[in-house]
Amino acid sequence: MRTSVGIPIVLLCLAAGVGARAQQSAPHGPDCCAIPPGPNPKEVIGRVIDGAKEADRAQYLYERIERVESRKDSGDSAPQSVKISRVIPAGTGITRIPLGSDGKPLDADAYRSELDNLLKSLIWAAESGQPQREAYQKVQKKVKDRDELIEATRNAFIFTLVGQEQRGDRMLSKYRMEPNPAFKSTSRATSIFAKVKGFVWADDASHQLARVQGEVTDDISLGIFLGKVYKGSRFLQDRYELAPGLWLPSFTQYDFDGRKFFTNFSVHERTFYSAYKHIGPPAEAIPQIQAEIQRLDALKSKPSIDR
């Protein structure tokens, strides 16, 4: 069912943006240590929002490998299915090329064909005709809508600093995330924020989002789909620094239960992101894909040596 009901998209914006009504409180719980004097929490959260918007746009400039593990239940040790893909921005869309369990092409000819189709898409997207302008307008609207959702979290939640935690060689500040009762929703998407709570971790050195954990606190109605996402559904995302000031996801987990039309659904997915590489807009990506195709063709035409 993946993201068809739309709720994961909204929660991804929780992973991208956090609110500016931050408060500071005494630490509590065994996983928190004393909070030393530091930057104003509102300033930190503001930096997080700015970085989150940049990271969201980076999905159109960075290719990556995605490993999606689907489970019947969240507690299952082994996944029911595993899908690995090379995900490549193509200007007005995203191309997903299936890979084998070892992260390599399943079939050399099929992989070569996928790259050829990608190249055609990039060449088309690099042109400046009316169809391209219309396609980019749709992309720009999607980016604008997500920016607005991220920005809405500035006031939709109250974030209370509860402690600090060590992650590797980085120190993270942990904030409790609770709905702001004074927030006035302006859309169906932002109305969902009132039914979500959780925690956010910000990296102390860069003031970038390092982790977010959310939980649905009440059933969320999906009027357009005649369905619901049930209370207790959860979301988690980890992020790490890929380039100075740019923190991108390394892991995402959805555990959602609900109903769509008259059918119950259950989404228990874990996605691992790796091998990020800046490929740029179509004009920059085209020569890279052309060179890759040429290398594959050269390897294929190279005579084999019988042993």
pLDDT tens sequence across 18-69:
434 445 444 444 444 544 555 677 778 778 888 888 888 898 999 999 999 9
pLDDT of res. 18: 45
Residue 107 has pLDDT above 80, yes or no: yes
pLDDT of res. 19: 38
pLDDT of res. 46: 77
Residue 100 has pLDDT above 80, yes or no: yes
Q: How far apart are CA 209 and CA 47, in angstroms?
A: 9
- Residue-level length of the chain: 307
Burial class (CB in 10 A: 0-12, 13-18, 19+), 290: middle
- Tokens in use for 201? 């971790």
Of 33-37, 95-99, 133-137, least confident by mean pLDDT is: 33-37
Q: Going by C-beta distance under 8 Å and a sequence separation of 6 or more, which residues neighbour residue 7?
A: 192, 216, 220, 222, 229, 233, 256, 258
Report residue 2's pLDDT band, with 50, 70 and 90 as the boundaries.
very low
277 or 257, which is more confident: 277
pLDDT of res. 37: 52
Query: pLDDT exceeding 70 applies to what percent of the chain?
Result: 84
206 SS3 class = coil
Rounded to whole angstroms, what are the CA distances from 121 to 62, 90, 131, 286? 16, 6, 13, 10
- Identify residue 200 by its one-letter amino acid code: V
pLDDT of res. 9: 52
- Tokens in use for 66? 């995605």
Mean pLDDT of 143-159: 88
- The model's pTM is 0.84
E strands within 44-147?
62-70, 81-89, 94-99
Report residue 304's pLDDT band, with 50, 70 and 90 as the boundaries.
low
For 190-225, write each residue's pLDDT tens digit.
888 999 999 999 999 998 999 999 999 998 887 655
Residue 6 has pLDDT above 60, yes or no: no
Sign of dihedral through CA atoms 20, 25, 30, 32?
positive
Q: Which of 30-34, 144-148, 279-283 has the highest mean pLDDT?
A: 279-283
pLDDT of res. 31: 47
pLDDT of res. 80: 92
261 or 105, which is more confident: 105
pLDDT of res. 86: 97
Average pLDDT of the residues of the chain? 85
Residue 291 has pLDDT above 80, yes or no: yes
E strands within 102-233?
157-167, 170-179, 196-203, 209-216, 220-222, 227-229
pLDDT of res. 5: 35
Residue 305 has pLDDT above 60, yes or no: no
